[in-house]
Amino acid sequence: MPELPEVETVRRGLAHLVSGYHFDEVQELHPRVRKSSSLSPISAIEGARITGVNRRGKFLWFELDRPEVLVAHLGMSGQFLIQQRERPVARHVRALFKISKGVREKELVFNDQRTFGWLSIEELADGIPSSVAHIARDPFDPGFDKAMAIRKYARRNVKIKTALLSQEIMSGVGNIYADEALWWAKVHPEVRTNEMSLKKIEIVIDCAIEVMGEAILQGGTSFDDLYINVDGASGFFEQSLAAYGQTDRPCPRCGTPIRRIVLGQRSSHFCPRCQRKRR
């Protein structure tokens, strides 16, 4: 599933390529592309001008010259792509947007092989769409309160990996970057948050910020063509992964083979030497 760095890469691509364009024609091409709670069919935004593209955690939305916004969640394999003649036509188009800016015309598609992504027309409350209201600020949000997040993590009696995956305290971190942040911080994924010092929790958060920042600079992590940017480019952070997906490969820090365990029905990867579970 695309995580914060991938969604931010998509947001930046959209903001650069479609801001100022009008939605001339909108087609819903799959029955599940529109979220059931959407205020109206997606075609209701026809005629609207895109004034910006915003994001919180793994959600993004198109800001329009009207009160409503177009919200998107990429799910497992959702992609926004600008159709280009020199690139193969997208094979799993769930929604088509014909957009224009003066004499310039483009086709923007929402492509989603696994159909877990969705689009929705929503209203804003304090600048946030209704379906995103329960999502905490992510660490790149100017309003993110790191000190408060540290205190909330410390009050919970949960494994740190589980805590990072929850979107209720700090959003945007998924399985990939949770594993990487914990490797950077030298913290075992099963350590419980109420047994960690405030300083250690802060280090984990700082490592999450650092590793996701690095991933954004490299365009995110692309294991296959299920995640590509708006212009069809793949991300290159896969080449920098130290723990996630590196089972039995040597730890880049100490050479010990990376181990994989299942935690909460998800794979967790860590170095058993660098990330020892203290007793």
**Per-residue pLDDT tens digits of the chain, which is 279 residues long:** 789 999 999 999 999 999 999 999 999 999 999 999 999 999 999 999 999 999 999 999 999 999 999 999 999 999 999 988 767 678 899 999 999 999 999 999 999 999 999 999 999 999 999 999 999 999 999 999 999 999 999 999 999 999 999 999 999 999 999 999 999 999 999 999 999 999 999 999 999 999 999 999 998 987 666 677 888 888 878 889 999 999 999 999 999 999 999 998 899 999 999 999 876
In the prediction, which pLDDT does 193 show? Answer: 97
In the prediction, which pLDDT does 222 show? Answer: 73
CA distances from 234 to 6, 10, 161, 206, 217 (A): 10, 11, 27, 26, 12
5 annotated active-site: no
168 annotated active-site: no
Domain boundaries, the chain: 4-132, 146-270
**Residue of 3, 6, 63, 180 with catalytic role:** 3
266 annotated active-site: yes
Residue in the block written with tokens 């950077």? 184
Report d(CA 267, CA 109) in Å as an integer. Answer: 32
Which contiguous run of DSSP H or E holds residue 162? helix 160-165
Return the structure tokens found at 68: 């409503």
SS3 254: coil
In the prediction, which pLDDT does 157 show? Answer: 97
pTM confidence score: 0.93
Return the structure tokens found at 157: 């009696």
**Residue of 11, 34, 56, 58 with catalytic role:** 58
| Bridge partners, 173 (sequence order) | none
- Check if the beta carbon of residue 187 is closer than 8 Å to that of residue 275: yes
Report d(CA 235, CA 221) in Å as an integer. Answer: 5
Q: What CATH architecture is 4-132?
A: Alpha-Beta Barrel (3.20)
In the prediction, which pLDDT does 89 show? Answer: 77
In the prediction, which pLDDT does 279 show? Answer: 63
CATH class of 146-270: mainly alpha
**Residue of 49, 101, 253, 266 with catalytic role:** 266
Check if 4-132 and 146-270 are the same fold: no
3 annotated active-site: yes
